[in-house]
Structure 1
Amino acid sequence: MVYEGRLLPGNRLPSEESLCEELGVSRVTVREALLYLEQEGFITRRQGLGTFVHPSAFRSKGRIETETCFNQLLRRIGYSRISVEGDIWEDKAVEPWAELLQVPVGEPVLMFTRLFLADGRPVIYCKNHIPMSFLKLPISDLDANYQGNLFRLLWIWCGQEITHRTAWFKARAVTEEISEKMGMPIGTPIFSWDEVQCNIEDKVVCLSENYFDTVAVPLCSMRRTWRWGDAEDQDAEENGR
């Protein structure tokens, strides 16, 4: 409906009742779908005015907050041939990663690297640190070239469900290791995305260092704003935020 441009004036969706009739589903299903779309920033609902669609959000490629895996991210950007090359070994936790992993320096960790190639070009390099205490399988049984979702992998390998993540973004200089993987000159600035994946008990199951060729993989984020007039917004304005 959105992609076909079948919207009411003002980029509005039909009423819930009309959507139920047109799609042949229950009102509960429609409401769950609308809630998801609202949470992802694709629509805004206003009581008495209707549900407004934001086509620009659908057109934005490389949205980091909506993707659950880099394969999906690359497909949405437009790449058709995606492959992953991996490697696995056991190591010891070192700073600054040990602190983020919430383990002592020297704690055994599983290192699992993944190099994503898009149409034959290396575009994303991921270096994952997993405390060995979470591992449920012998290293010999692990598939270094696993092509799927990291969260699925952590469930298979560690029996851990990831419920939330925290990410930090910064620029770093290309190291010898990254240069060998991605073919970029040593010392070149590169966009990095460090992320901890936590289970329901808030324990860090995995720490990921992710490095991007942002020429090949442009990234963006859609930031929602609160409705003007809310007490929090007024307080923020008064305090200069």
Structure 2
Amino acid sequence: MSISKLKLAPIYYNIFEELLGEVESGKLGPNEKFPSENDLCQRFNVSRGTIREALKLLEQHGVITRTQGKGTFITEKKFEQEVTRLMGFSEVMKRYGIEATAKLLSLEVIPANDRIRDRLNLLQGENVVAIKRLRLGDGIPLIIERSYFVYSIFKPILAYDLESSSIFELLYQHTPYRLGYATQFIEAVISRDDESELFEISTGSPLLLIKRLVHLIDGRAFEFSEDLYRSDKLKFTIKTAPYEKNDMEMDIIKNKKQTLNSKD
């Protein structure tokens, strides 16, 4: 099958889109060996350089992985998590039938510095519980959690096993506190040497940085975290509010009136 060279997009991009569609439709499944460069050259009637550009895009999108001496394989399906709902890692893994575990890297009770105190709305001298954990799904490292909890709230569960237990579940089981809303920020970053070692990936690999501020139902801040997610294993979905044309039109009219009034 040849790709039409009359399309406006580069040929390699058209090939990338067609191959991506085959993966998303299930025609090519997870862990299945991907067709070789030679096979793709013959199929699309293009040069090896064009195929390599298409494969590079697929790799950048986390669709395929290339291993020297073994070939190219389709990556496993990513775990999906809703950003609009406060959900712990253990709960997400349970949905997929995956065993969630944790490796406790560090735990200390320390005075909150200016940055953390500001995030958690604490007074000078108040303590936080600083926890760093590596979260794993069926033994595969997926998340590096770097969390700061308000000590006065976290204290009742400090002595419990934080490697095999969900912190949110411990909070519900052993305290009267209940979780409320959270504010989350998502950024794209690349892995540093120490992070790559924990994740067992190459330095400079793409990651997602999720900054999250969790409040209790009474409005008090409980946790501020800066977690790193493997972007080749996890993805996030966001549900938006309905598009309200009337609201937009009212905003435009309001802005026009404000502009006219400012000219008077």
TM-score, structure 2 as length reference: 0.55
Query: Displacement, 1:84?
Result: 2.4
**Retained in 2: the 8 A contact 1:190–1:212?**
yes
Counterpart residue number, 1:233:
248
Distance 2:213 2:185 in 1: 9
- Match of residue 96, structure 1, among 111, 115, 127: 115
* CA distance in 2 between partners of 1:80 and 1:222 (Å): 25
1:212 offset after TM fit, Å? 0.4
The CA RMSD measured in Å over matched residues stands at 3.1
Kindly indicate whether the alpha-carbon contact (under 8 Å) linking 2:206 and 2:231 is maintained by their aligned counterparts in 1: no
* Higher share of residues assigned helix: 2
Q: 1:135 to 1:116 in 2, by over 3 A?
A: closer
Kindly state the Cα deviation for residue 120 of structure 1 after the two structures are TM-superposed.
1.9
CA distance in 1, matches of 2:232, 2:144: 14
Name the structure 2 match of 1:142.
Answer: 160
Q: Tell me: CA distance 1:154–1:173, structure 2 relative to 1, closer, same or farther (3 Å).
A: farther
- Alignment partner of 1:109 out of 128, 131, 140: 128
Aligned to 1:27: none
Q: How far is the alpha carbon of 1:156 from its aligned partner?
A: 4.5
AA aligned to 2:208 is: F
Deviation per CA, 1:2-50: give whole Å up to 9, x if none.
xxxxxxxxxxxxxxxxxxxxxxxxxxxxxxxxxxxxxxxxxxxxxxxxx
Structure 2 partner of 1:80: 98
Residues 169 and 192 of structure 1 are in contact (CA less than 8 Å); yes or no, is this contact kept in structure 2?
Answer: yes
* Cα pair distance change 1:114/1:197, threshold 3 Å: same
Q: Is the 8 A contact 2:101 2:163 kept in 1?
A: no
How many pairs align? 176
Asked if the contact 2:102–2:162 (Cα under 8 Å) also holds between the matched residues in 1, the reply is no
Structure 1 counterpart SS, 2:170: helix
Matched position secondary structure for 1:178: helix
**Partner SS, residue 235 of structure 2:** coil
Q: Deviations for 1:50-105, whole angstroms, at most 9, x for unmatched residues? A: xxxxxxxxxx94332246222232344x4634322235322332353332122256
Residue 196 (1) aligns with residue 213 (2): yes
Contact 2:157–2:174 under 8 Å retained in 1: no
5+ residue gaps, structure 1, are 1-59
In 2: Cα distance, 1:75 partner to 1:135 partner: 24
Distance in 1 separating the partners of 2:201 and 2:190: 10
Tell me which residue corresponds to 1:44.
none
Shift of 1:178: 2.9
Match of 2:224 in 1: 207
Identity rate of aligned residues, in percent?
Answer: 17
- 1:115-158 CA distances to partner (integer Å, 9 max, x unpaired)? 2212321011212211222234374x22221433x433334565
Which of 132, 137, 143 is equivalent to 1:124? 143
- For the residue of structure 2 that corresponds to 1:96, the secondary structure is helix
